[in-house]
Amino acid sequence: MTPEHPLLAAPPRVVNVGLELFAETLAALRVPVVHVAWRPPAASAHALALLARLDARREAVERANAVAFDRLTGGEPALVDCRPAREALELPERTVLHAGPPLAWERMCEPMRAAVRCAIRYEGWAANDDAAEDLVRRGAARLAPCHDWRAVGPMTGIVTASMPVLVVENRAHGTRAHATINEGLGKVLRFGATDDSVLARLRWLASEAGPLLGAALRAARGIELRPLIAQALRMGDELHQRNVAASSLLVRALMPHVARAGQRHNAVARLAEFMAGNDQFFLNVAMAAGKALADPAAGIPEATLVTAMARNGTDFGIRVSATGDRWFTAPVEMPTGLYFPGYGAGDANPDMGDSAIVETVGLGGGAMAASPAVARFVGAGGMADALAATEEIRDICHGEHPYFSIPAQDERGVPAGIDVRRVVETGITPLINTGIAGRQAGTGQIGAGVARAPLACFELALAALAG
Amino acid sequence: MTPEHPLLAAPPRVVNVGLELFAETLAALRVPVVHVAWRPPAASAHALALLARLDARREAVERANAVAFDRLTGGEPALVDCRPAREALELPERTVLHAGPPLAWERMCEPMRAAVRCAIRYEGWAANDDAAEDLVRRGAARLAPCHDWRAVGPMTGIVTASMPVLVVENRAHGTRAHATINEGLGKVLRFGATDDSVLARLRWLASEAGPLLGAALRAARGIELRPLIAQALRMGDELHQRNVAASSLLVRALMPHVARAGQRHNAVARLAEFMAGNDQFFLNVAMAAGKALADPAAGIPEATLVTAMARNGTDFGIRVSATGDRWFTAPVEMPTGLYFPGYGAGDANPDMGDSAIVETVGLGGGAMAASPAVARFVGAGGMADALAATEEIRDICHGEHPYFSIPAQDERGVPAGIDVRRVVETGITPLINTGIAGRQAGTGQIGAGVARAPLACFELALAALAG
């Protein structure tokens, strides 16, 4: 026999770097292999230069991010009240709040325009849609983002003065954030539906449900939301697509106070029925909690963590801690997902709503591993896809949430504190679980799925941070 | 070089049978290894002979088990009413139902005796504990198992005529099963506590909560429990130790009807508060559902599937399909678990209660993989222990439940249909999640944990089946 080269005397031992496929093929052939997860930086030369500039101040940035992360994850949100926006936000008449970064009427998508017109009719500021649009066009009714008014709104995100808003107080920081009451499924204003049933529900929310919820919440001296959200994560919610556990826990905690506060039996029963029929009742509470948690993390010099993500159906915008209220925007992407019968991708409106505030604080897309049922929107579904979605988001986050954890990962915290630097470096953009609105005004919801935050927002933010 | 024996020319390829430890050691050394899960039959020579005798009729047994399995898993339980036991069960006065197989006063454990005396005082059949005990000893008050009266009771399982019972109807089979309203935590009759607070709660349940629940359930035309239980399994409940999801879902569905049925505001509020404060409210509903599901699987000739498991604090008893109402009993085991501060294993009463009916239908211990939070009672806890507990139970079950599934196992059904033959053959006994009562009368609950069904029950049943 020919003497062998010593390297060939033993079976090969393989270290694989990068593409997992090679390692998997070798493993399938029973060749021992060690896989090293690595991918080349995705960033452009320009972005790498910006990252290098930030890296020169690395210690200061890390210190600032640690403070921002503590504020983002350490808040104590409590649902304390429900009052008309004119009282809670001191929102003036003839002002219409909408989701996402600021947007002129001319650039608004159709569902949002329809919702604006409908809200103006609902408030009685105009008698019909034409008159309503005229008010906006000549500036007699003002448009403004919810975020500028300590509020967040799902999908179109419309808020006007007489609409009741849920009030969430961050008891650790003294800040408050607000969101309207979730209207339920079907024809609803937030998806741009505008028929009589929408108006009738808005009137009932303002005249009966809102005041009753407010009285119950004040009597309860607030409902602590951090333990409730933590519990719901253990029950299969990721708090964006799926809120059935959180909604049920909230209803159970709230009903004794609703029953006591109710002046009329039927009002109590109607509110109980409304909440029993709406698995997403908690979504708007989670959103207000998200803003109440995220706001105290804003305005920390050098901190590169994201403090808001929001979409208006035209633009996607992010805010970053160090740059305060400034929006970094880019054209919003199309969601992908599953559609109700009779609808498809061609009917979908671009991504919309302030609900990405829940992803900003570590819930939603990044918490998918808590919610395998939701994972069918990102792939074949099931536990493996759910875990993979969460693991990917870990790559762009500052750390693990100290209070929100995932039972299927042995109570490991959800990834939290999206770092603009890591997003640009890896090319991994935040994953956002979302409802999908029809692009035709008046259609309403046509499906649900996921969307990605556009990389360009983070590149713009990075330039400002490195600047 | 010396020519090698051809067997040694290649690296070794190992097939390991039995103890996993060998395979793990080799795998750690990066030696390719195929592991075959196998263990030697645990059964005695006598038991093997009985198994062989049954094996001669194997086809008939398998056919019968397929029918029993379909009945056990195919039921449609609905919570339809809540009425006093004297109406729902036609339970006469001076009769005290208890958990587990039949048991004379002389062999009863102290917490159960205390609960019997307390129930007699509560009913006004005797003025004090001595007089109550005297009634029982001279046969003027009768003792009987809940299971003989279409009922199941947790822990001591006491039911008397004026206590309201939840009524679950199996709409697929027309059978009904019943359980009292769960009293909550702390000092409660089911754990053998007997002070004035226990009596006051029983009176409130009978005078206000029970009638209100009954009116609400009748107005709702029943609440379907199969989808509710399936949903709760997706939310981290295993429906024995953990019922927070099922309780919350039930409350949410029920409250509109409670609010409408309520004659007085404060009664609605008190019931809402009681349910909001009791994460185990659903346990008794799950138990009644378990019995309503299991009963139709009884009495099928040749079928070797278990149709009831129950403990009275002295004996553990099982019933098997082919042998109908006959109990196979053995001394009950001690539970192991975690204790409340100030208590330990030495303070524990032996395993007790009809609640093992939930394990009989595939929930509880065998569904642990749905509920990693509960797995801390069986080991270090976490997902791996939870999965292992469920996988072990699969070895002794006829099949996978068609409606109750586990999200973390990609919706694989929970194991269901415990087969007496497999239990004896493998030596794996059903795992039962349980509360732990103090053995001193009046103590109440001191912890929670797990217990095993004694193998001897299954050996006795096997002898009868093979006979």
Name chain B contacts of A184, Cβ cutoff 8 Å: none
* Angle subtended by helix axes B196-204 and B110-123, to nearest 10: 60
Q: How far apart are CA B415 and CA B400, in angstroms?
A: 5
In chain A, residues with a C-beta closer than 8 Å to the C-beta of B26 are none
Q: How far is A140 from chain B (nearest CA, A)?
A: 43
Q: Which residues does B451 contact at the CB level (< 8 Å), separation at least 6?
A: B311, B332, B333, B334, B335, B336, B351, B432, B434
Cβ–Cβ under 8 Å, residues A352 and A439: no
State both tokens at A19. 């593409």
Place of tokens 């003792």: B143
Chain A to chain B, count of Cβ pairs less than 8 Å apart?
Answer: 113
Query: What is chain B's pLDDT, residue by residue, as a tens digit (467 residues)?
Result: 455 565 556 666 677 766 676 777 766 777 677 776 666 666 789 999 999 999 999 999 999 999 999 999 999 999 999 999 999 999 999 999 999 999 999 999 999 999 999 999 999 999 999 999 999 999 999 999 999 999 999 999 999 999 999 999 999 999 999 999 999 988 899 999 999 999 999 999 999 999 999 999 999 999 999 999 999 999 999 999 999 999 999 999 999 999 999 867 789 999 999 999 999 999 999 999 999 999 999 999 999 999 999 999 999 999 999 999 999 999 999 999 999 999 999 999 999 999 999 999 999 999 999 998 888 777 667 888 899 999 999 999 999 999 999 988 888 999 999 999 999 999 999 999 999 999 998 888 999 999 999 999 999 999 999 98
pLDDT tens digit string along A17-32? Answer: 666 767 777 667 777 7
Strand, helix or coil for residue A247? helix
Residues 107-166 of A with CB under 8 A from B: none
Q: Which tokens in the block code for residue B278?
A: 């009791």
CATH class of the domain defined by B77-291: alpha beta
Q: What secondary structure letter does DSSP report for A308?
A: E
B249 CB within 8 Å of a chain A CB: yes
Q: What pLDDT was estimated at residue B423?
A: 98
CA distance A26 to chain B (A): 12
Q: What digits encode the pLDDT tens for the residues A194-238?
A: 999 999 999 999 999 999 999 999 999 999 999 999 999 999 999
Q: Which residues pair with A169 in a beta bridge?
A: A78, A176
Determine the Cα–Cα distance for residues A463 and A467; give it in Å rounded to an integer. 6
What does the alpha-carbon distance between residue A343 and residue B465 come to, in Å, rounded to a whole number? Answer: 58
Per the CB < 8 Å rule, is A265 touching B269? no
CA distance B418 to B431: 11
CB-closest option in B252, B268, B275 to A268: B268
Contact B259 A259 (CB under 8 A): yes
Interface touch B236/A410, C-beta < 8 Å? no
Does any CB of chain B come closer than 8 Å to the CB of residue A276? Answer: yes
Closest C-alpha among A111, A101, A72 to residue A312: A101
Domain ranges of chain B: 6-36, 45-72+297-466, 77-291
Instruction: Please state the separation of Cα B21 from the chain's center in Å.
Output: 33
How far, in Å, are A20, A60, A356, B423, B424 from residue B462 at the CA level?
A: 52, 73, 59, 10, 8
Gap from B408 CA to chain A (nearest CA, Å) = 6
Min CA distance, A383 vs chain B (Å)? 6
Q: Which CA distances in Å does B399 have to A452, B235, B294, B305, B430?
A: 42, 23, 15, 11, 15
If 0-12 CB within 10 Å is exposed, 13-18 middle and 19+ buried, where does residue B276 land?
Answer: buried
Contact B255 A262 (CB under 8 A): no
Q: Which CATH number fits domain A76-291: 2.60.120.1440, 3.90.1710.10, 3.10.20.600, 3.40.50.1820?
A: 3.90.1710.10
- Give me the residues of B, 428-457, that contact A with CB < 8 A: none
A62: closest CA of chain B, how far (Å): 33
Among chain A residues, CA nearest to B248: A248
CB A183 within 8 A of CB A305: no
Nearest CA to B192 out of B151, B157, B167 is that of: B157
Q: What pLDDT does A381 receive?
A: 74
H-run or E-run covering B339: strand B336-339
Contacts of B4 in chain A (CB under 8 A): none
**Looking at the domain that runs over A45-72+297-466, which CATH code has it been given?**
3.90.1700.10
Out of B32, B268, B372, the one facing A259 most closely (by C-beta) is: B268
User: In chain B, which residue's Cα lies nearest the Cα of A27?
Assistant: B32
Copy the structure tokens of residue B35. Answer: 């592991």
| Terminal Cα-to-Cα distance of chain A (whole angstroms) | 68
Q: Residue A1: which pLDDT band, with cuts at 50, 70 and 90?
A: very low
Q: Check for a shared fold between A45-72+297-466 and A76-291.
A: no
List the 209-248 stretch of A: residues with Cβ below 8 A of B. 231, 234-236, 244-245, 247-248
- pLDDT tens for A285-295 read 999 999 999 99
Picking from A255, A259, A407, the nearest residue to B373 by CB comes out as A407
Other C-beta atoms within 10 Å of A203: how many?
Answer: 12
**Residues of chain A with C-beta less than 8 angstroms from the C-beta of B273:** 256
Whole-model pTM: value is 0.89
Give me the residue from A255, A272, A372 closest to B408, CB to CB: A372
Assembly ipTM: 0.85
Residue of B nearest to A257 (CA): B269
Of the candidates A252, A272, A373, which has its C-beta nearest B275's C-beta?
Answer: A252
Look up residue B105 and give its two tokens: 């006063």
Give B252's contacts in chain A (Cβ within 8 Å). Answer: 247-248, 251-252, 275-276
- B408 close contact with A: CB closer than 8 A: yes
Query: Tell me, what's the pLDDT at B332?
Result: 96
Contact with chain A for residue B259, Cβ under 8 A: yes
Comparing CB atoms, the residue among B236, B259, B411 nearest residue A272 is B259
- 360-389 of B, contacting A, C-beta below 8 A: 372-373, 382-384
Cβ A341 vs Cβ A457: under 8 Å: no
For CA atoms A53, A57, A61, A64, give the dihedral sign.
negative
Chain A: residue whose CA lies nearest to B266 = A260
The number of beta carbons lying within 10 Å of the beta carbon of residue A40 is 8
- Report helix, strand or coil for A182: coil
Sign of the CA dihedral running A407, A413, A417, A423 = negative
Contact A409 B383 (CB under 8 A): yes
Helices B45-55 and B58-74 pack at an angle, to 10 degrees, of 90
Find tokens 């979504």 and name the residue.
A283
Dist. CA B209–CA B52, nearest whole Å: 54
Distance CA B240, CA B233 (A): 11
Residues of A within 8 A of B248 (CB-CB) are 245, 248-249, 251-252
Query: Nearest CA to CA, how far is A265 from chain B (Å)?
Result: 6
Report the percent of chain A where pLDDT is more than 70: 93
CB-nearest to A269 from B236, B259, B409 is B259
**What is the tens place of the pLDDT at every residue in A108-120?**
999 999 999 999 9
Of B235, B256, B276, the CB nearest to A273: B256
Distance from the Cα of B437 to chain A's closest Cα (Å) equals 27
The Cα of B114 is separated from the nearest Cα of chain A by a number of Å equal to 33
Verify whether the Cβ–Cβ distance A276 to B248 is below 8 Å: no
Would you call A276 and B407 a contact, using CB atoms and an 8 Å cutoff? Answer: no
> What's the whole-number average pLDDT of chain A?
93
Which tokens in the block code for residue B370? 């749905």
Each residue's pLDDT tens digit, A244-254: 999 999 999 99
* Per-residue pLDDT, B41: 61
B405 touches chain A (CB under 8 A): no
- What are the φ and ψ backbone dihedral angles of B376, each rounded to 5 degrees? -65, -15
- 3-state SS of A401-430 is EEEEEEHHHCCEEEEEEEEHHHHHHHCCCC
Contact A272 B262 (CB under 8 A): no
In this predicted structure, the answer to whether residue A75 has a pLDDT above a threshold of 80 is yes
Mind listing the pLDDT tens digit for each residue in A326-347? 999 999 999 999 999 999 999 9
| The amino acid at A352 | M
